[in-house]
């Protein structure tokens, strides 16, 4: 597996490259804008072109993590419009810097997927119909209390997307564990992947998020911890990193870091030490 990390863009895209180099990441995940603001500000065409001319020679992949405010099952008309706009702006920006996948949180249940089915389908279709064909929507699993807590939720989203070739899933290790999937043991990991293969299809897994969990199995708490410092444990990452089925996939650290500055060299180094292939 390719070992990547979420890196900052404060000060511009060059910051992402600088931090990525410093922590020896092999792939980068970035926000398209401030994650708690609706407006996707992006960067100038010149900055985008410079970034695009640089990163492919140093990193294997760059992905977006969408802003945190979007919600496919939003309860208000205003939220739905803002969700559509933010995702359209993000997926339109993506090709300018060579990003294919935009990972995002599908949102709250708000009464359940089925009760919001028509709205969810409409949001996805509107976004895909109004963005470049090379841009993909990537649904992330959740820690259990929002859409994506069950693998079946991700299946539903894939099956109800208007263009199946432009969607995929991202699996977060902390979220899976918090949602009740015990991937801390080798048997548990392989059982989980068997379920992923049966329900979702391994070919639909676009990338992973590599995070330990501050809380225990099934706690439904989305609190990331540094690798080996949480309840999930270091061994689980060895199972994943050395599974040949994920050889060409990227996994992105979203941990607090030993100095609470985000993914760092120490966490990247730990993962690399677990990767034997």
Residue 209 pLDDT greater than 90, yes or no? yes
Distance of alpha carbon 101 from its chain centroid, rounded?
Answer: 9
Per the CB < 8 A criterion, the answer to whether 92 and 137 are in contact is: no
Residue 277 pLDDT greater than 80, yes or no? no
Axis-axis angle for helices 117-129, 77-93 (nearest 10):
30
What residues form DSSP beta bridges with 104? 139
Q: Where are the beta strands (DSSP E) in the chain?
A: 2-6, 27-30, 62-65, 101-104, 136-140, 167-172, 205-210, 212-213, 224-225, 250-253
Please give the CATH number for the structural domain made up of 2-274.
Answer: 3.20.20.150
The reported pLDDT for the residue numbered 20 is 98
Q: What are the pLDDT digits (tens) for 145-176?
A: 999 999 999 999 999 999 999 999 999 999 99
The reported pLDDT for the residue numbered 110 is 85
Per the CB < 8 A criterion, the answer to whether 209 and 140 are in contact is: yes
Model confidence, pTM: 0.97
The reported pLDDT for the residue numbered 267 is 98
The SS3 of residue 162 is: coil
Angle at 244 between CA 242 and CA 249, to 5 degrees: 90
Q: Work out the average pLDDT over 260-276.
A: 97
Q: What are the pLDDT digits (tens) for 53-83?
A: 999 999 999 999 999 999 999 989 999 999 9
C-alpha to C-alpha distance for 245 and 264, rounded to whole angstroms:
26
Distances (CA, A) of 216 to 239, 243, 263: 19, 24, 21
């Amino acid at each position: 597996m390719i070992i990547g990390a979420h890196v900052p863009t404060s000060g511009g895209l060059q910051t992402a490259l600088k931090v990525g180099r410093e922590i020896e990441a092999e792939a980068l995940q970035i926000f398209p804008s401030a994650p708690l603001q609706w407006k996707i500000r992006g960067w100038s065409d010149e900055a985008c072109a410079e970034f695009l001319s640089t990163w492919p020679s140093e990193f294997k992949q760059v992905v977006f993590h969408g802003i945190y405010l979007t919600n496919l099952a939003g309860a208000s008309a205003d939220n739905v419009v803002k969700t559509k706009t933010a995702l359209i702006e993000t997926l339109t920006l993506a090709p300018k810097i060579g990003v294919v996948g935009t990972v995002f949180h599908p949102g709250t249940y708000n009464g359940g997927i089925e009760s919001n089915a028509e709205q969810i389908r409409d949001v996805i279709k509107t976004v895909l119909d109004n963005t470049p064909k090379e841009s993909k929507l990537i649904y992330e699993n959740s820690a259990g209390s929002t859409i994506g807590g069950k693998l079946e939720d991700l299946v539903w989203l894939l099956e109800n997307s208007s263009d199946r070739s432009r969607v995929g899933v991202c699996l977060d290790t902390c979220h899976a564990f918090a949602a009740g999937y015990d991937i801390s043991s080798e048997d548990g990991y392989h059982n989980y992947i068997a379920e992923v293969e049966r329900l979702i299809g391994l070919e639909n897994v676009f990338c992973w998020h590599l995070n330990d969990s501050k809380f225990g199995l099934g706690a439904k708490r989305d609190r990331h911890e540094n690798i080996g410092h949480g309840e999930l444990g270091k061994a689980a990452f060895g199972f994943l990193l050395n599974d040949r089925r994920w050889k060409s996939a990227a996994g992105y650290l979203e941990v607090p870091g030993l100095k609470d500055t985000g993914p760092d060299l120490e966490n990247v180094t730990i993962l690399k030490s677990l990767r034997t292939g």
